[in-house]
A and B are shown apart, each in its own frame.
Chain A
Amino acid sequence: MQPDSGPPEPADATLAAPGSIPGIGASARVQQPSLLEEHLEQLAIDEQLATWRAFAAPIATDSGAVIGDPELVRLAVNILAVYANHQSRSGLTYAQLRDGLRQLGSRFPQAAIDARLEHLHRMGFLEPYLPKQYQGRYIVRPAGLAGALAAARVTERGGIDELILLLDRTRAALGTRHPDPVQILTHLNSCRHALMVFALDLHRRVATGTSSELIEACRQHDHSSFTHQVVELNDMVTTHFSKQHDLEEAGAALIEAEQFYRSQVRAAIGRVLAQGGAGLNFDVLTPAEYETAALTAGLDELAEVGTGLIADTPGVYVDPDALIEVVESYQPRSRPRIRPPEPAGSDDPDPVAAIEAAREAARRYRRLGLEALLAGAREADLTPHMQQSWEAAARILVDALALDADPEEPFVLDLSEYLLIGPAMPVTYLHPARLIRTDVPEGEYGLKPGDVEQPGGADAG
């Protein structure tokens, strides 16, 4: 059975994952605490120690038997973590325990740890792995485990877990097929005793406690399911032991005790509400409870907050000057895009145009040269002109090949395959060539070959 206590409290840091820094590590992270924080921390330590003294009083021989430093209890809890993390299955030596405790962030010097380990050994918390003298490996006695965990728990929950445990055990005992009346009676009385102890403690706190003590008490005791559980137990007792008056009487007494306890819880809550309402103290619940509500509460539950809130905003103040200033700060944008003006002419030469012009001029000169060789005829034999010099032959051949390759030019070069050799000529060998103009029908030209200027000079031919 789980107590109806909202979200679970955060686990003790000492039982966190291996490598985490427990206890003192958390306090070490706090930066320069104020005097108030130090005072509150000291109060919390005093409260812990008082709780442990009360917790250990039944089994202590004198008042000095309980430790005075909460870190020593955390050290015992850390020993459990060291055993869980270590690979050895045959116990640990003191040296291994020291190393493990240091890895978990223990701040104690070696001598103090050794002294504490020796104390735990003497008290039976640590037992030798083998029942031999002078052997140095130890394991934890399970009762020590229970003690260490209970010591940590009792400071967190103020012992309320024991009451929940008692109720659970009583319910479990009643749930068996043949419940033992003596055992049930013992459990019912134990529950009643525990409830009365808590009720009387609450009664004292309501009468004399401070606001923070009451808030802490309310955190621990605000479990409205106790009533339901106690009534359920009483019904089970009546069902199983209807003729046994002593058990029915114990059940009724338990209900009375619960009613007294509940009245004290309500009185404490009434005081907290009165004081907390005036101070609007959100410490009355844990941060985890608010966090849980923020994450999981539904729309209907959330919408119960602020049902009495009324909209309260002043009317808008309109400043005419500011209004006109804003209007004038926004200027209408021109919608149509205006084409930018043509750039002014530049003196910079256009290299592409210059190349094209040079190419056109070269083609024109070639055409004029070849037309001069044609002398108005449709065809002309270029061989005599080429035989004048190697330079003339090369120029005529290049011009004729270029225009022949140009599809826009109406010239065709016909190179013979045979070779004409003349050892006495300036050009000693060459292929005979003829130039043909393709855009003039045959016989249209009236000029004779001698009527036009001969390229290459008057001495050509």
Chain B
Amino acid sequence: MQDSAGQDDAAASADPGQPARGDSLAQDLPGTPEPPGTADGALVLARIRAAGTTPATVPADVLAAASSAASLVDRQLVEVTAAGGTERVLSLGWADGAAPDPDHHPSAPPRRLPAVPLLVWAACLAAAWPRAEDEPYPGQPFLLEDVLRACISMGAHDRAVIAALRLLPATGLIKNAGPVGRLGPAAAALPADTWSALRRAHDRLPHAALRRDPSVPAEPDSPDGAAAAPGPAARRIPHPPAIPVSASETLVRAMVTALETAQGPVARADLPALADPALRRATQSALVGCGRTLIQTPEGSWTTGYPAPVAQALAAEQTGTLRREQRAVLALILLRAVAIPRAQGRLGGAWTSSGHPVTLEEIAANRQLPRAVIDEAIRGLRAAGYVASAPSGGYVLGPAMARLSPAGTEALWEDLIVLARPNGYMAERIRSRRSAERQEADGTLPPQRDCEDQK
């Protein structure tokens, strides 16, 4: 168990569910004095969480700090080639022998792919990895059309396969460049145990369905020629040598893994160890090093999210932020699913987990947004976790809403107030306060070390 005495200060500023507004990122990090680059290392890991990858052009001390923080929660940085073929990016893989355990938190299982997307990825994997003795990543490029044809021949519906081919790049499991696809950085970050199991079952992947009919000529832009020159393989960033860990540390790593891989908040019954203040502080400390924080929902469940300073830093550099149309559609969903029913007194409880469904027709009642824009925005919002499909039809707030910190939730509430009454004193007051906070941050905080600036 970690030294709790040395973490009292950190616990005070990073009390679960009560992150201090306006604190600098460094103030949220545990332990004094902290190693150089710790705050930036946490930001690197937060960028990976938000966008899937981050450019690998990171100073050595920052990379070492990020790698060290990741190793404390059984993760390991992986350097892979981006889809363009030249840029190297960082992804977050798993340490040797580590992997999520879905049985650990049945109340909020890990995010899994539905059947058709899983079939499509299996076909992509078979196309990119034709020989079991080769390294699976980065594999060979493949034609998306071949995958589409193979899945249809296996009985999948063509529209479902096309939708899956749109979904998979958002998960990072594949990357598309026009008609050609490749395995994505999320595939490189899969646990080693997963790859071992896939290698054993390699002959059961849908290779037969991918075989071309000899009478059909190959496309001019077929990746057959490119297969001879695959990109460089993934490189695991070395982390500090493993040291024996205590039972408490093992428990903390398991809890962080459960919280970070769960689709939504994890019930208290699944993580009873978090009731122990010392273990809770240790978990919070491990999360803060990764640019995350522990959050307790109003229902008492546990989840993780970005601390306010990290979220502000990511928003400032536009990493993982929502697009303009996505924000507009989310605003409409929030008005319909939260603001109106709650103002009418029809809903209670935590509004970030509102299960009030909103139909597409209700969203499209706003004539300023075309239906096609709404459809596209909803796809993006679902990929970002802010919207989910209701079992009874329509859309509800997604699990990412429950991961908002109290400051983030309050900011969203203020946004809705300003939207609904833009000319009131309340909106004026909110705007002036935010403007003052921005000016204060610009004037007092040191300039941010952006990886892009250091190229």
Contact = CB atoms under 8 A, between A and B. Distances in A.
Given A277-B414, A285-B417, A316-B186, A323 B331 contact: no
A303 B426 contact: no
B233 interface: no
Contacts of B156: 330
Interface string A304-323: 11111111111111111111
Residue from B335, B386, B404, B421 with most neighbouring chain A CB atoms (10 Å): B421
A332 B152 CA distance: 9
B321 A307 contact: yes
B432 to A, nearest CB: 10
B411 interface: yes
Given A294-B335, A309-B412, A330 B119 contact: yes
Interface string A204-224: 000000000000001001111
Contacts of B385: 311-313
B122 A327 contact: yes
B384 A311 contact: yes
A223 B426 CA distance: 9
A280 B413 contact: yes
B153 A295 contact: no
Interface in B181-209: 186, 189-190, 194, 197-198, 201, 204-206, 208-209
Interface stretch (B31-39, B60-68, B106-114, B267-275): B106-114
Interface string B306-340: 10000110110001111011011111101110111
Interface in A257-313: 262, 265-266, 269-270, 272-273, 276-278, 280, 282-287, 289-299, 301-313
A61 interface: no
Contacts of A297: 331, 366, 368, 419
Interface string B205-231: 110110000000000000000000000
A272 B121 CA distance: 51
Residue from B110, B340, B351, B418 with most neighbouring chain A CB atoms (10 Å): B340
A173 to B, nearest CB: 27
A292 to B, nearest CB: 7
Contacts of A302: 327-329, 331-332, 366, 368-369, 419
A124 interface: no
A327 B102 CA distance: 21
A292 B421 CA distance: 10
Contacts of B331: 297, 302-306
B41 interface: no
Contacts of A222: 421, 424-426
Interface string A327-339: 1111111010000
Contacts of B409: 280
Nearest to A302: B328
Contacts, number: 267
A324 B173 contact: no
Contacts of A284: 417, 426
A277 B425 CA distance: 15
Contacts of A333: 153-155
A303 B324 contact: yes
Contacts of B50: 310-312
B112 A322 contact: yes
B330 A306 contact: yes
A295 B418 CA distance: 15
B305 A312 contact: yes
B163 interface: no
Interface stretch (B140-148, B236-244, B255-263): B255-263
Contacts of B173: 316, 318
B445 interface: no
A260 to B, nearest CB: 14
Interface size class of A (residues with CB under 8 A): 35 or more
A302 B424 CA distance: 17
Contacts of A305: 327-328, 330-331, 334, 412, 415-416, 419
A314 B260 contact: yes
Given A280-B413, A320-B198, A290 B100 contact: no
B422 interface: yes
A296 B331 CA distance: 12
A6 B426 CA distance: 13
B162 interface: no
A320 B343 contact: no
B261 to A, nearest CB: 5
Contacts of A218: 425-426
Contacts of A298: 368
A326 interface: yes
Interface of A: 4, 6, 218, 221-225, 262, 265-266, 269-270, 272-273, 276-278, 280, 282-287, 289-299, 301-324, 326-333, 335
15 contacts: A6-B424, A218-B426, A266-B425, A282-B338, A294-B332, A299-B328, A299-B368, A303-B324, A309-B322, A315-B92, A316-B186, A323-B201, A327-B119, A332-B209, A333-B155
Interface of B: 49-51, 92, 100, 102, 110-113, 115, 118-119, 121-122, 151, 153-156, 171-173, 186, 189-190, 194, 197-198, 201, 204-206, 208-209, 260-263, 305-306, 311-312, 314-315, 319-322, 324-325, 327-332, 334-336, 338-340, 342-345, 351, 362, 365-366, 368-369, 383-386, 399-400, 403-404, 408-426, 428-430
Closest 10 CB pairs of A and B: A317-B110, A302-B328, A320-B197, A305-B331, A311-B384, A222-B424, A313-B385, A330-B154, A305-B415, A311-B320
Given A224-B428, A315-B186, A317-B261, 6 more contacts: A224-B423, A289-B421, A301-B422, A308-B412, A309-B408, A331-B155
